[in-house]
Every structure is written in structure tokens, then in C-alpha cells.
Amino acid sequence: MKIYNDMTIWMVAGCQHLYGEETLNQVRSHTEEIARYMSDQDGISAKIEYKGIMTRPEEITDFCIKASADPSCGGVMLWMHTFSPSKMWINGLSILSKPILHFHTQYNRDIPWDEIDMDFMNLNQSAHGGREHGYINTRMKIDRKVVVGYWKDAQVHERIDAWIRAVAAVKDMRSGKVARFGDNMRDVAVTEGDKVAAQIALGYDVYGYGVGDLAAIIAAATDKQIDALVAEYQTQYEVAPELLPGGARHEDLRTAARLEAGMDNFLTEGGFCAFTTTFEDLHGLAQLPGLACQRLMEKGYGFGAEGDWKTSALVRAMKVMGKGKGGGTSFMEDYTYHMDPKNPLVLGSHMLEVCPSIAGGEKVKLEIHPLGIGGKADPVRMVFNVPGGSSLNASLMDMGNRFRLLINEVETLAPGKDLPKLPVARVVWKPQPDLATAAGAWILGGGAHHTGYSKDVTTEMLLDYAEICGMEALVIDAKTEIRSFKSEMKWNDLYYTMRAFSGGV
Ligand code: MN
């Protein structure tokens, strides 16, 4: 069973009739063998389906039409085992609407130095066949991923899997629906944006609801649902005694459970994959949903606070990309700094809404505390630390003529202190290459204060995702330095401005 079992990758080999039937038979069996071998790897998250060898323009066009039309096909993997003259591919490639991975591999790993003859040379032609294929894709300005290497190499599998994971997120968001409870937090700029442009580029549809629509469904949650959730909390978390049955604040826990049940009902009935809330619009809700947002994120929903639909959709996409990896993904905010020059750090958190998928087996406590904003009853929330490990933050902004994805690789540190008075989940990280460069580049890049934080998603997955969606992507990592980062942004501005003039999104 594959991680993405509702999606397959279609693999074909480019070829031609020049070399005779025997060579074609070998190409056929080699391509089938490679597709099967890759499919059998645990590190490859979707089935790779052999779909034949392409020897004529009609076959290529037919393959591209079928791949584009079949909803189960996430993307296509193309391998030029021999030389496949690329004028044959023009019509098909101009029709193809699925992401392309050009796999530049060779059936034989090693050159058989003592045995090599012209038959071997005629069969193992990827080295130049792949170049002919590269030319036509580049000439047609087709964005695609090129992976070079031997087909049994684990590093090659990892690169292909990053693309498969990005493809799965693209496929998910092409039919994704985001529910927005209440509007944007008043006066905040970065959480705004063009929802029509987002739907064109990224596929998801943002539905706005007055919070009253949600309040009615929350009010209709049944005692049975609430009882079941309260029982679940008691088995999964360390619940504060005052929240337990018989405790002074047990009713507040039931209110939190009612919020969760109602929101879950709303999102399930509407077929949503992500949602937003805002503390400025809570009419009819008793508490700002904290626990509910945390629990729903843990189930796989995207979430953005303060009406932030872009981050909500990004968190969902990142959750799909990271599926099955076990490290977790959450909505996040750079909250406060530790500016010790010897060890500068960032403490990430939010008012309440941090997903426990990133707790990594650490103890999760269920607590109730006052919230200084929103003017509502004290909200229940999960409180936990996050263990160390490599991770990243990503943020999505509307730049007016394109969306920009900004990625910062960070090293999460195991909690050194208890933080006994902090009533929210928290993460401590050291950004790459250092706080001064990372925060400087982030600010110059117009990066949002809200992010998707992940221990599963890699920069490569996000870059593949951005490329498939035609989005700008900027990376802040160990190699970043401000001067070249600024130049890169200026070049990008020019590119996207020119693209907008030529009718691009
Ligand atoms: Mn916020």
C-alpha cells in the first residue's frame, strides 16, 4: 500500500523505430522493470505505472491526452532510453496538463569496458537521447523536474519522491476548498490577497462564511459527540485536574469539545480541507477555538489564524507533502527572539493554535488559561514542547503580480528550559544561516509572520511544488547571503513583470 494510493505516476520511455524490433523489445522490458522496481521501493510514495514506449508522434499525443484527462494520473515520468526525436513530442507536450519529471537514467549502470560493442551503444543512448528531449522542453518553456542518476540509487529515489509528494499536494489543492470563518484581521496586510489569482495558480477555492453560520452548527453538536471527545482527550492527553469531570472548569472543556465537534461537522459536510478563524469575529462562539484548531490540524486540515487563508492552504499542502513521514507540520508564527549574540534563537508559537503533530511523542498537556484578546471566555489549549531536528518554515505572499513562496531552513533545538509560565505550545529554532541573515532576508523578501512549520517537508519538495504551480520561490538556507539574495529578488521582479505583460498569471 502506497502513501498516496489514489494517485499514480505514469512512466513511458521515448524511443523510435530506427533500431529494429529487438531493441524496442528490450526498451519495453527495461522500462517495465524500472517502473516496477521504483514502485516497490518504500521510499517512493506512489505507484509508478508503466505506460509503454513512445515511438511515433500519434502515440505520444495519445499518451499526453490520456494522462491529462485521467484524474488518477498525478504526473508523468519520461525517460529517453534511446534517442527519441523531439519533433514527435511537440504536439503531445503542448496538450499535456500534468507535471513532468524527466528521468535521466540509464538501464546499465556501468560501461562494460571489455564487452562494449555497437549494440550496447545503440541501446544505452540516454546520454544523448535525454539531451534531445531536454531541448524541446526548454524550447517550449515547459517547467519540469530533471532527475539524473542510476535508477537503483537511493538518492535518486529521494529526489523523485520529493516531486511525487509535491505532485500529490498539487493534485489535492486543485480540488481543495478553504472555509474562512470571519474575514481578515482588520488592518493586517500580508494575510490579504487575490483569491481569484490564488485559485488560478494553486487551484483551491476560498469560501467565506459569517461566523454565525458556524455558531449554528456548533450549537447543534450533540452531547454524544461531546462525551466521546472528552473521553478521547482523557486518554490522549494529560488533562489539567480542573478540566476533568467533577473539576471546577469541566464545563469549559465541554465547551471546547463542542467547538471541535461543530467545526468538524461543518468542514466534513462542506468537503473542506483547510480553514481559518479570527479572534476579531467570534460572535456566537464562547471561546476562541484553540483546542479545536489544534485537533483539526492534527487530523490533516490546513489552518490559518486571523483570516489567513494563504497560510491555511499552504499548511494543508505541506501536510499532504509530508504524509506518512511522522515529524509533523503546523501553523506557526515567529513569536519572540533570544538575542544573545553567542546563541541567537527564535521562539515560535501562536496564541493557541499549534498542531500537536510536531510534538514528536513529547507529553501534551490540556490546560485552560485566560486570553488577553478577543473578549471571550478562557480557551482550552494543548501545551507542549517540540523535540529538536532539522525543519523549515515556509510562507506564501501575494506580491501583486505573482505569489511568492519563501522558505527558511531551521534547526529546531530540544527545549533547554521548562518555560513553566508559558501557557501555549512552543518551538525553539536556530535559523539558517544565522538569525541576522535569515530574519534580514525574510524581511527583505516580504515574508509573512505566519508560516507553515514542518519537520517532514523539505526545501526540494516545496521548490517542486512552487515550480509546478508557476510560483516564485526564494530559499534562505546555509548558503544565503544578503547581497545576492537582494539581486535575486530584483531579477525575479523583472521576470514576473515581463511574464505578467505576456499574459501569465
Ligand atoms: Mn497570528
The Å distance, Cα 306 to ligand 1 centre, comes to: 6
Q: How many residues does the chain have?
A: 505
The Å distance, Cα 427 to ligand 1 centre, comes to: 15
The Å distance, Cα 489 to ligand 1 centre, comes to: 26
pLDDT score of 344: 97
Helix ranges restricted to H, 181-222: 195-202, 211-219
- Please state, as a whole number, how many other Cβ atoms lie within 10 Å of the Cβ of residue 39: 17
The Å distance, Cα 304 to ligand 1 centre, comes to: 8
pLDDT score of 3: 98
Q: What DSSP letter does each residue of 347-397 carry, written as one string?
A: EEE-SS---GGGGTT---EEEE---SSSS-BPPEEEE-----EEEEEEEEE
The Å distance, Cα 305 to ligand 1 centre, comes to: 6
- Please state, as a whole number, how many other Cβ atoms lie within 10 Å of the Cβ of residue 281: 20
| Sign of the four-CA dihedral 281, 284, 287, 291 | negative
Is the pLDDT at 416 greater than 90? The verdict is no
Is the pLDDT at 76 greater than 80? The verdict is yes
pLDDT one-digit tens code per residue, 23-70: 999 999 999 999 999 999 999 999 999 999 999 999 999 999 999 999
pLDDT one-digit tens code per residue, 313-330: 999 999 999 999 999 999
For residue 340, which amino acid is it?
Answer: D
The Å distance, Cα 452 to ligand 1 centre, comes to: 12
Average pLDDT value over all residues in the chain: 96
pLDDT band at 194 (very low <50, low <70, confident <90, very high): very high
pLDDT score of 504: 54
Per-residue pLDDT, averaged over 234-245, amounts to 97
Per-residue pLDDT, averaged over 162-180, amounts to 97
User: What's the Cα-to-Cα distance from 332 to each of 165, 202, 436, rounded to whole Å?
Assistant: 21, 21, 20
CA dihedral 324, 328, 331, 332 (to 10 degrees): -150
pLDDT score of 373: 80
pLDDT band at 375 (very low <50, low <70, confident <90, very high): confident
Cα radius of gyration rounded to whole Å, the chain: 25
Per-residue pLDDT, averaged over 98-114, amounts to 97
pLDDT one-digit tens code per residue, 12-24: 999 999 888 999 9
**What cell does 227 get?**
462525551
- Please state, as a whole number, how many other Cβ atoms lie within 10 Å of the Cβ of residue 116: 12
Q: Tell me which H or E stretch contains 100.
A: strand 100-104
Residue environment code for 387-425, b if the CB has 16+ CB neighbours within 10 A, otherwise e? bbeebbbbbbbbbebbbbbbbbbbebbebeeeeeeebbb
**What cell does 436 get?**
541576522
The Å distance, Cα 277 to ligand 1 centre, comes to: 10
Nearest-angstrom CA–CA distance, 365 and 106: 53
The Å distance, Cα 260 to ligand 1 centre, comes to: 20
pLDDT band at 130 (very low <50, low <70, confident <90, very high): very high
Is the pLDDT at 133 greater than 90? The verdict is yes
Nearest-angstrom CA–CA distance, 327 and 331: 14
pLDDT band at 94 (very low <50, low <70, confident <90, very high): very high
pLDDT score of 285: 92
- Ion ligand 1, residues whose Cβ is below 5 A away: 305, 333
pLDDT score of 1: 87
Is the pLDDT at 503 greater than 80? The verdict is no
The Å distance, Cα 203 to ligand 1 centre, comes to: 24
Q: What DSSP letter does each residue of 223-280 carry, written as one string?
A: HHHHHHHHHHHHHHSEE-GGGSTTSTTHHHHHHHHHHHHHHHHHHHHHT-SEEE--TT
The Å distance, Cα 451 to ligand 1 centre, comes to: 9
* Residue indicated by cell numbers 544573545: 340
- Contact, 433 vs 480, CB < 8 A? yes
**What cell does 213 get?**
453560520
The Å distance, Cα 395 to ligand 1 centre, comes to: 13
Q: Flag the least confident range among 96-110, 118-132, 208-222, 490-504.
A: 490-504
pLDDT one-digit tens code per residue, 430-487: 999 999 999 999 999 999 999 999 999 999 999 999 999 999 999 999 999 999 999 9
The Å distance, Cα 350 to ligand 1 centre, comes to: 6
The sheet that has 73-80: what strands, in order across it? 47-54, 8-14, 73-80, 100-104, 145-148
User: How large a percentage of the chain has pLDDT more than 70?
Assistant: 99
The Å distance, Cα 257 to ligand 1 centre, comes to: 23
pLDDT score of 7: 97
**What cell does 129 get?**
537521447
For residue 186, which amino acid is it?
Answer: R
Is the pLDDT at 505 greater than 80? The verdict is no
pLDDT score of 122: 87
Nearest-angstrom CA–CA distance, 165 and 171: 10
- Please state, as a whole number, how many other Cβ atoms lie within 10 Å of the Cβ of residue 225: 17
Q: Tell me which H or E stretch contains 443.
A: helix 435-444
Nearest-angstrom CA–CA distance, 486 and 474: 11
User: How large a percentage of the chain has pLDDT more than 90?
Assistant: 93
pTM for this prediction: 0.97
Per-residue pLDDT, averaged over 88-99, amounts to 98
Decide: helix, strand or coil at residue 25: helix
User: What's the Cα-to-Cα distance from 476 to each of 220, 400, 410, rounded to whole Å?
Assistant: 47, 22, 9
DSSP classification of residue 325 = S
pLDDT score of 374: 76
Cα first-last separation, the chain: 37
Per-residue pLDDT, averaged over 291-305, amounts to 98
- Please state, as a whole number, how many other Cβ atoms lie within 10 Å of the Cβ of residue 505: 15
The Å distance, Cα 192 to ligand 1 centre, comes to: 13
